[in-house]
Amino acid sequence: VKKPYHHGELRQALIDAARALVREKGSDGFSLSDACRKAGVSTAAPYRHFADKHEILDEVVAQGFADLTLGMQAAATVLPAGASARILGMGHAYLSFAIAEPALFRMMFGQKPDAEPDHLVVVRGKDCFGFVVQEVMSYCAANHVEGDAMLIALQLWTLVHGATSLTIDGDYAKISDQIEVGQILSDASDRLLFSLARRGEQGDQAKGKDHVE
Amino acid sequence: VKKPYHHGELRQALIDAARALVREKGSDGFSLSDACRKAGVSTAAPYRHFADKHEILDEVVAQGFADLTLGMQAAATVLPAGASARILGMGHAYLSFAIAEPALFRMMFGQKPDAEPDHLVVVRGKDCFGFVVQEVMSYCAANHVEGDAMLIALQLWTLVHGATSLTIDGDYAKISDQIEVGQILSDASDRLLFSLARRGEQGDQAKGKDHVE
DNA sequence: TGTACATCAGTGAACGCGCGTTCACTGATGTAC
DNA sequence: TGTACATCAGTGAACGCGCGTTCACTGATGTAC
DSSP string, chain A: ----S--SSHHHHHHHHHHHHHHHHHHHH--HHHHHHHHTS-TTGGGGT-SSHHHHHHHHHHHHHHHHHHHHHHHHHTS-TT-HHHHHHHHHHHHHHHHHSHHHHHHHHSPPSSSPPPHHHHHHHHHHHHHHHHHHHHHHHHTT--S-HHHHHHHHHHHHHHHHHHHHTTHHHHH-TT--HHHHHHHHHHHHHHTTSPTT-HHHHHSS-S---
Q: How many Å apart are B29 CA and C27 C1'?
A: 34
Q: Which residue has the higher pLDDT, B202 or B141?
A: B141
- Option in B109, B163, B169 nearest A158 (CB): B163
C1' (D14) to CA (B40) span, angstroms = 20
Residues A171, A157: Cα–Cα separation, whole Å? 19
Q: What's the rounded Cα separation, in Å, for the pair B177 and B179?
A: 6
Q: What distance in Å separates the CA atoms of residue A133 and residue B151, rounded to the nearest whole number? A: 27
Q: Measured between beta carbons, which residues in chain B are less than 8 angstroms from residue A179?
A: 154
Determine whether the interchain pair A155/B187 forms a contact, defined as Cβ–Cβ distance below 8 Å.
Answer: yes
Interface A:B, Cβ pairs < 8 A: 116
Does the pLDDT of residue B133 top 90, yes or no?
A: yes
B173: Cα separation from own chain's centroid: 21
Cα gap A16→A56, rounded to integer Å: 10
pTM of the model: 0.91
Q: Is B191 on the interface with A (CB under 8 A)?
A: yes
B3 CA vs D2 C1’ separation (Å): 29
CA–CA gap between residue B208 and residue B213 (Å, rounded) = 13
Average pLDDT, chain B: 90
Amino acid at A37: R
In A, minimum Cα distance to B110 occurs at A169
Per-residue pLDDT for B140 more than 80?
Answer: yes
CA A173 – CA B36 distance, rounded (Å):
34
Q: Which chain A residues contact residue B162 at CB under 8 A?
A: 157-163, 165
C-alpha distances out from residue A134 to A97, A129, A138, A175, Å:
20, 9, 6, 36
Taking a C-beta distance cutoff of 8 angstroms, is the pair B18, B30 a contact? yes
Q: Does B202 touch chain A (CB under 8 A)?
A: no
B204 pLDDT higher than 50: no
Alpha carbons A4 and A181: distance in angstroms, whole number: 49
Banded pLDDT at B201 (limits 50, 70, 90) = very low
**A97 with A105: CB under 8 angstroms?**
yes
Q: Give the residue from A162, A104, A155, A102 showing the smallest Cα distance to A132.
A: A155
Chain D nucleotides close to protein (CB under 7 A) are 9-14, 18-24, 27-29
Task: Give CA separation, A45 vs A28, A31, A49, B67, B184, in Å.
Answer: 22, 14, 8, 48, 47
* Dihedral angle over CA of A80, A85, A86, A88, nearest 10: -170
Calpha distance A167→A157 (Å, rounded): 15
Partners of residue A175 in chain B, C-beta under 8 Å? 125-126, 129
Q: Return the percentage of chain B with pLDDT > 90, whole number.
A: 82
Per-residue pLDDT of chain A (213 residues; tens, 9 = 90+): 456 777 779 999 999 999 999 999 999 999 999 999 999 999 999 999 999 999 999 999 999 999 999 999 999 999 999 999 999 999 999 999 999 999 999 999 998 766 788 999 999 999 999 999 999 999 999 999 988 999 999 999 999 999 999 999 999 999 999 999 999 999 999 999 987 764 334 444 443 334 333
Q: How far apart are CA A169 and CA B93, in angstroms?
A: 21
Measure Cα distances from A112 to A175, B17, B179, B195 in Å: 29, 24, 20, 38
Asked if residue A106 lies in contact with residue A27, where contact means CB atoms within 8 angstroms, the answer is yes
For residue B117, what pLDDT is reported?
Answer: 87
Nearest-CA residue to the C1' of D26? Answer: A5
Residues of chain A with C-beta less than 8 angstroms from the C-beta of B169: 109-111
Chain B residue numbers touching A126 (CB-CB < 8 A): 174-175
Torsion of CA A145, A150, A154, A156, to 10 degrees: 30
B window 28-47, beta carbon within 8 A of A:
28
Higher pLDDT, A124 or B202: A124
Nearest C-alpha of chain A: how many angstroms from B90?
A: 16
What distance in Å separates residue A3's CA from the closest CA in chain B? Answer: 37
Q: Write out residues whose CB is closer than 7 A to strand C.
A: A 5-8, 10, 40-45, 48-49; B 4-6, 30-34, 43-44, 47, 52-53
Q: Is B174's CB within 8 Å of A125's CB? A: yes
Q: Is A207 on the interface with B (CB under 8 A)?
A: no
What is the average per-residue pLDDT within B180-197?
A: 91
Contact between A94 and A153 (Cβ < 8 Å): no
Tell me the Ramachandran region of residue B179: left when phi exceeds 0, alpha when psi lies from -120 to 50, beta otherwise.
beta
Give how far B155 is from chain A: nearest CA, Å: 6
